[in-house]
Structure 1
Amino acid sequence: MTARIWSLEESLEIPLPPHAVYAALADIRRMKEWSPEVIWVWPRGERFVGINRKACWIWFATCRIVIADPGREFAFDNTTFGLPVARWGYRLTPTEQGTQVTEYWIDRRRHGWRRWAAELLGLLFTGTPAARRAAHNRAGMRETLRRLSAACRTAP
């Protein structure tokens, strides 16, 4: 049995300056354009609700923006029924050709009954056991970065 993975990072270089990439990421309504799971986002200031889908499973994620550093980093914490689930974020590093975008995920389901409850809800909502979520997320992160890059390249 392999050890559970609690965090991931995937990176891709986008040939635009960090402030342009940040502007796309910080407009969370656009997340459905590049995330393979997000189908709708309802923004509410520093909070938002995302509706996600994987095959026949549909679930919501209640999120709060926790890092909003223009041109450098954007991150949000995801909870379900008040239980911590994950932190999703994007670090932006200038390069000679544009911006290195690093998407990261940190599993926040760590302790006691809250962990057990969040993992059970995650399985019911997504159909993916917590121990396999990292592998699923890695594939999704790669697709998200490819779609983000394409969207940034075609933006006016």
Structure 2
Amino acid sequence: MSVREWSVEESLEIPLPPQAVYAALADIRRMKDWSPEVIGVWPRGDRFVGVNRKACWFWFATCRIVIADPGREFAFDNITFGLPVARWGYRLTPTEHGTLVTEYWIDLRRRGWRRWIAELLGLVFTGTPAARRAARNRLGMRVTLRRLRATAV
């Protein structure tokens, strides 16, 4: 039996300065261009709703931007039915040839009885068991970062 992963990170260098990468990421409507799951985003100030798809599963993600540090980091929390689900973010590190973009995911469903409700809802809506979510997210991050690099330059 493998140990469950509660966080995942993937990095890729993009040949643009951090401010340019940040500007692309902060336009949350563009996430549908990069993420293999996001098919639409409705922004509302520091909150937004993402529409996601995986095979025959569709679900909404209600999110709140929690870190907006231009040129350094952009992150948002996914809160579904009032339950904390995950934090998704991007750390930007200047490099000689552009920016090292590190996408990260942190599972926020670690404590108490609400964890079981959130995990059940996650399975029903996404078709991915909690124990496999980190591995699935890692693959999605790799696709997202490659697409970000391809469209941002």
The DSSP-based 3-state class of the residue aligned with 2:128 is coil
Question: Which residue of 1 is the match for residue 91 of structure 2?
Answer: 91
Matched, 1:2 2:13: no
Runs of at least 5 residues in structure 2 that lack an aligned partner in the other structure: none
C-alpha deviation, 1:112, in angstroms: 1.4
Q: Kindly state the Cα deviation for residue 41 of structure 1 after the two structures are TM-superposed.
A: 0.2
- Matched residues, percent identical? 84
Map of 1:124 onto structure 2: 124
Q: How far off its partner does 1:135 sit?
A: 0.5
For 1:49, the equivalent position in structure 2 comes to: 49
| Aligned-partner Cα distance in 2 for 1:73–1:42 | 21
Equivalent positions of 1:1-156 (< 5 A) are 1-153=1-153
* CA distance, structure 2, for counterparts of residue 114 and residue 89 of structure 1: 23
Deviations 1:74-129 (A, max 9, x none): 00000110101000000000000000000000000111111000000000000000
SS in 2 for 1:85: strand
**Aligned mates of 2:113, 2:62 — CA distance in 1:** 20
CA deviations on 1:40-64 (whole Å, 9 max, x unpaired) are 0000000000000000000000000
C-alpha distance after superposition, 1:13-64 (max 9, x if no partner): 0000000000000000000000000000000000000000000000000000
- What is the TM-score when the length of structure 1 is the normalising length? 0.97
Distance, in Å, in 1 between the alignment partners of 2:48 and 2:94 is: 28
Q: Displaced runs of 4+ in structure 1, greater than 2 A?
A: none
- Under a length normalisation based on structure 2, what TM-score does the superposition of the two structures give? 0.99
CA distance in 1, matches of 2:111, 2:77: 17
SS across alignment from 2:58: strand
Distance 2:110 2:95 in 1: 35
* AA matched with 1:33: D
